[in-house]
Amino acid sequence: MVMDFKFKSNASVVNAKMSNMVAKQMPFAISLALNNTAKTMIAKNKQDMNKIFSRPVAFTRNAFFYKPARKGDTSVMLRRKDMQRGKHYLEVQEDGGARPQTGIEKAFQYRLPYAGVFKHMTPTSKFPRIKSGVISPGERNKIMSAMQVQQDPAANSPKPGRPKRGKDVYFAPKSFGRKAGIYKRKQGSRSIQKMFNFIDRNITYRPRLRFDDRMAMYGRTIYPKRLQSAMKRALATAKIR
């Protein structure tokens, strides 16, 4: 007895369904890969900030974030947090060039009766700092009040050299060069501490942040791996219909 078995292949149907499944899952996989890539790039940038800058404050370390890509998007956006006012200081670190004056520097330059010339001020190591690493706003305001350079006259101390609150004395000696700046003499003490340095030249920076270059380099390495992982996940959870 001869038995004849015949099988009819439906490979074309299966292939069509597989192609449709891949086509449907690709937008999900791409957006997932983009978001995972961006997340990794932001984390790597945060690590880089600790190497590029000396003791960067929290705002600098976390200055960049990403706007998640949605299904169907073919790109993801990395953005920098905006400053409340003025030019963002990281722009100068990215491109290089002269640092613009801060509001505090302008206040001292225009209102302080100082015979010397200065364009910038930098806090010394003696200046108190808050947890985030930036200079203490309270101490800064005390100094501005004592030196009578606040924009609002009511915020200035009626006694030159003394803040409205506290009994320490602040002063700017007629010194030039490295000794120029704002000093503090604590109550009941003869010792003095330098709080601000006066700098009589423009502060210029060389390009050091290089955010665009670093992110492009990271992206080329990270994205293919994230896309491969995302495709595996997408296909593993997909259903052939």
166-189 pLDDT, tens per residue?
Answer: 788 999 988 888 889 999 998 878
Residues 173 and 217 in one domain: no
In a domain, 99, yes or no: no
Q: Which pLDDT score, from 0 to 100, does residue 46 have?
A: 95
Domain that holds residue 118: 110-201
DSSP element (H, E) containing 194? strand 192-199
Structural domains of the chain, count: 2
- For residue 114, pLDDT over 70 is answered with yes
Read off the pLDDT band of 15 (50, 70, 90): very low
Read off the pLDDT band of 20 (50, 70, 90): low
Residues 216 and 197 in one domain: no
Is there a contact between 181 and 198 (Cβ–Cβ < 8 Å)? yes
pLDDT cut 70: percent of the chain above it: 87
Distance CA 141, CA 136 (A): 9
Residues 150 and 192 in one domain: yes
More confident site: 236 or 48: 48
Read off the pLDDT band of 238 (50, 70, 90): low
In a domain, 128, yes or no: yes
Residues 222 and 197 in one domain: no
In a domain, 100, yes or no: no
Looking only at the bridges linking them, the beta strands covering 77-80 and 169-171 are: unpaired
Strand-pair partners of 170: 184
